[in-house]
Amino acid sequence: MKQMRYILTRPCLQEGVLRLQKYLEPTFPESGPAVFVDDRGREHGVQIDRAAGVVRGLHPLYHDANLGVNDVLMITPLEPGRYSVEGIVKPHAPITTPRPEHQRTPEPRRVVVTATPHVREVRLQHAQSPEPARPVAPAREPLVPVAQAPEPPRAAAPMPSPAPAAPRVAAPTPGPVPETPEAQLAELASLTGYRLSYAAPGVARLAAELGEFSYVVHVALGESARRPGWENGADHSVLLTAESQQVGTSRLTREALVALLEHARLAPLSPIDLRPYWEAGDLDLNAAAGVSELVGAHLAQRGAFSFVLLTLAAQPAHSIIGVPRLAERLGSGVNPAELRSILDTLSRAPFLALTPLPGGQYLLRAGVAEMLRDVADYADGVRRRIRPATPVQTEARRTPTLV
């Protein structure tokens, strides 16, 4: 069965519920009791209420999994009334290294907004600065490494101190937001993979050409474009309006469109990611906030990968990596499932940085810096052999670079 992704909000945690958004309704087709089985095999009895649009009784699950605001719940139907669930905790915000006063710019700091037995909400607060605030990727605090001496033929060398600083994502160069809706939709299409055309005067057509996953969105750029038949041939139809304007039809607000452009510049977004928001029928700033959470999750995954690399970089080549000790050095910022996935990725081509060993250990085949140089050379060689693509494919995506 299809696995669904649900981002937790503060009301969800406070009330112990999961809200049945439109894309989740097929996953919970009937009201009544059900069982959620967490990743430790523990069963949690819940109550599905289709009329109210919620699943109730999730306080114990949220508490046991230590889930907070913007954390993710992965839901997989097993059989009628029984679901497998896995909580994914997003990494904490970074603590930055002080810089000389003459170079210093105000850095964001973590501020606890609320803290209850079921809810923890932490936000980044930016100090006043003459420069605009820059997005900061989720990262981890520097950790003091611990020496290890495992049993295999070559023992791991002690990790030097201090441990590598957590990675940061460099802010993308701010680009001007196109002024006209036509130009904004054109950029959104080029960044996210839609094909833009016009079904009629004033009616933009966004086509996701994805085989069995294809769909079409019609965007009426004004009331005058909503002539009879303007929705024909579309799976979803919306009217472009101002955020403050309430209309009796599905809408895309101008403010949300600008926000979507900013999110698409930060991390890859696809028509698959955006389809649930078109289906919801009201893509406003509240909906765009959900896309922001998705982008934050992408950046958090990228930050976790970099943090593991930087921690491994302190280990000499041809030494043994013990997963429990590595997890101890990484702390709670990288959960065990995420760490195992990253190590498996680093064991395969094109990285080939690790060799799996019995007992859940790994041999570090080469230094991380050397490995990354080899991968960069490989990627550059492949890039030079790629033929020029279509304008849509070659459109530059202004994504941040991990440093």
How would residue 221 be classed by pLDDT, with cut points 50, 70 and 90?
A: very high
Longest Cα separation, the chain: 76
pLDDT score recorded for residue 91? 55
Please check the confidence at residue 295 and state whether its pLDDT lies above 60: yes
Please check the confidence at residue 345 and state whether its pLDDT lies above 70: yes
Average of per-residue pLDDT across 86-90:
80
How would residue 136 be classed by pLDDT, with cut points 50, 70 and 90?
A: very low
Give me the CATH code for the 4-88 domain, please. Answer: 2.40.330.10
Please check the confidence at residue 90 and state whether its pLDDT lies above 70: no
The Cα 337–Cα 18 span in angstroms is 23
pLDDT score recorded for residue 274? 93
Please check the confidence at residue 149 and state whether its pLDDT lies above 60: no
Average of per-residue pLDDT across 239-254:
90
Amino acid residing at 326: L
For 93, counting Cβ atoms within 10 Å of its Cβ (0-12 exposed, 13-18 middle, 19+ buried), the class is buried
pLDDT score recorded for residue 170? 40
Average of per-residue pLDDT across 255-281:
90
pLDDT score recorded for residue 175? 55
Please check the confidence at residue 394 and state whether its pLDDT lies above 90: no
Q: What is the pLDDT of residues 364-385, one digit of tens each?
A: 999 999 999 999 999 999 999 9
Please check the confidence at residue 169 and state whether its pLDDT lies above 60: no
Using a pLDDT cut of 70, give the percent of the chain over it: 74
Please check the confidence at residue 164 and state whether its pLDDT lies above 70: no
Please check the confidence at residue 209 and state whether its pLDDT lies above 90: yes
Place of tokens 């802010």: 171
Average of per-residue pLDDT across 102-121:
45
pLDDT score recorded for residue 65? 86
Q: What is the pLDDT of residues 1-48, one digit of tens each?
A: 577 888 888 788 888 999 888 778 889 999 999 999 988 888 999 999
Amino acid residing at 93: A
What the block records as the tokens of 273 is 């990611």
Average of per-residue pLDDT across 372-399:
73
Contacts of 170 (CB under 8 A, 6+ apart): 400, 401, 402, 403
Report the mean per-residue pLDDT for the chain: 78
Q: Where are the domains of the chain?
A: 4-88, 181-296
Please check the confidence at residue 214 and state whether its pLDDT lies above 60: yes
pLDDT score recorded for residue 390? 55
Q: What is the pLDDT of residues 179-196, one digit of tens each?
A: 799 999 999 999 999 999
pLDDT score recorded for residue 401? 39
Please check the confidence at residue 96 and state whether its pLDDT lies above 80: no
